Amino acid sequence: MRGAVLFLVLAATLGACASSSSGPEPARLERVATSGAGMFTAAWTVVGADAIPENEPFELDVRLYHDAERTRPLTGAELIVSAWMPDHGHGMNRRPEATEVEPGRYRVRGMLLHMGGFWQLFLDVIAGGVSERAQFELELP
């Protein structure tokens, strides 16, 4: 009996590890931060790429949550995304737009970091009459 159970466990494990003919999707770098006073937790990835490109338009997939455990999606929020280069004293040349595409998941279009160097990415969320910010530090080569 124990041999049969072991066989079933191995078969299930190998089946789960098998890849499709199209190949595995590349891993996406996910960044996570909680806002200043803890109103929300944000997690984001770059859409269709492993890293933020320099001087090329890109999109972000942002997920907002009420909790640090990321179990309760934050829906119906207004999300404003911006970036700042403190060493140069300027921000982005574009104003990206965020749209909620499913509960708690937002697509940010129109992102462009026009030069390499140190950037700060800001996610400002307005929900329930309260505004709060999550901040990320980025280094573009």
- What are the structural domain ranges in the chain? 28-140
User: What's the pLDDT at 70?
Assistant: 96
Q: Is 33 exposed, middle or buried, given 0-12, 13-18 or 19+ CB atoms closer than 10 A?
A: middle
Looking at the chain, the whole-number percentage of residues with pLDDT higher than 70 is 80
> Cα 127 from chain centroid?
19
Q: Which helix (H) or strand (E) holds 69?
A: none
- CATH number corresponding to 28-140: 2.60.40.1930
C-alpha 139/C-alpha 52 separation (Å) is: 9
Please write the tens of the pLDDT for every residue from 79-90.
Answer: 999 999 999 999
Per-residue pLDDT of the chain (141 residues; tens, 9 = 90+): 443 333 333 333 333 333 333 433 444 689 999 999 999 999 999 999 989 999 999 999 999 999 999 999 999 999 999 999 999 999 999 999 999 999 999 999 999 999 999 999 999 999 999 999 999 999 998
C-alpha 76/C-alpha 124 separation (Å) is: 14
User: What's the pLDDT at 29?
Assistant: 82
C-alpha 90/C-alpha 72 separation (Å) is: 35
C-alpha 41/C-alpha 71 separation (Å) is: 10
C-alpha distances in Å from residue 139, one per residue of 30, 66, 84, 95, 116: 15, 28, 12, 20, 7
Q: Is 121 exposed, middle or buried, given 0-12, 13-18 or 19+ CB atoms closer than 10 A?
A: buried
